[in-house]
Amino acid sequence: MFLQYAEQYDFNQADDRESIASLETDDGEDHPPEKIIAETTTKSGHTWYLVTWKDCPVIRSSWEGKELFDDCPEVWDAWLVEKQQQAEGKSKPLDIEAFNKAVRDLEVTETQRRVLRRLRREVRLALSTLET
């Protein structure tokens, strides 16, 4: 699933002028859960669900507890169907390791882009000081 998304979105082509904040899930808007794409259970037995959010990139998915789905049973029901399809081999589970690597890679890219923008501003400021 993530690989399909990554093929459609070229992270390297993102406009440098675009605010990194605009890519964050926490943009002040209400983004209801869209679907569950994976689940994991901790050693203590607590299960977490990787949730995509409406109008947010898949890369901004987050791990949530089951109580989130009390108000959106259709998301939960769709996940139960997906889990059954995975169990029957009709659907392939998300590669969580690949997903986590993609998230880390994106974070590095965003950090590098911020540093580059800051350096560009500093160079423009230095050049404008030299010109005057």
Q: What is the tens place of the pLDDT at every residue in 9-19?
A: 343 443 433 33
d(Cα 117, Cα 59) in Å, to the nearest integer?
A: 22
pLDDT higher than 90, residue 98: yes
What is the rounded (10 degree) CA torsion for 27, 12, 99, 22?
Answer: 0
Q: Report how far residue 2's alpha carbon sits from residue 117's, in angstroms, rounded to the nearest whole number.
A: 28
Please state which of the ranges 13-22, 88-97, 104-113 shows the lowest mean pLDDT: 13-22
Q: Could you give all domains of the chain from N- to C-terminal order, each with its CATH number? A: 2-8+17-131 (2.40.50.40)
What residues contact 9, with CB distance under 8 A and at least 6 apart?
57
Residue type, 18: E
* pLDDT for the residue 96: 93
* pLDDT attached to residue 26: 55
Q: What is the CA angle 122-125-127, rounded to 5?
A: 110
Q: Is the pLDDT of residue 27 over 70?
A: no
Average pLDDT, the chain: 82
Average pLDDT estimate for 87-91: 96
Residue 97: pLDDT over 70:
yes
Residue 65 reports pLDDT greater than 90: yes
Name, in order, each residue with C-beta under 8 angstroms of 24's C-beta and a sequence gap of 6 or more: 60
Contact call for residues 66 and 49 (beta carbons, < 8 A) = yes
Q: Give the per-residue pLDDT at 33.
A: 96
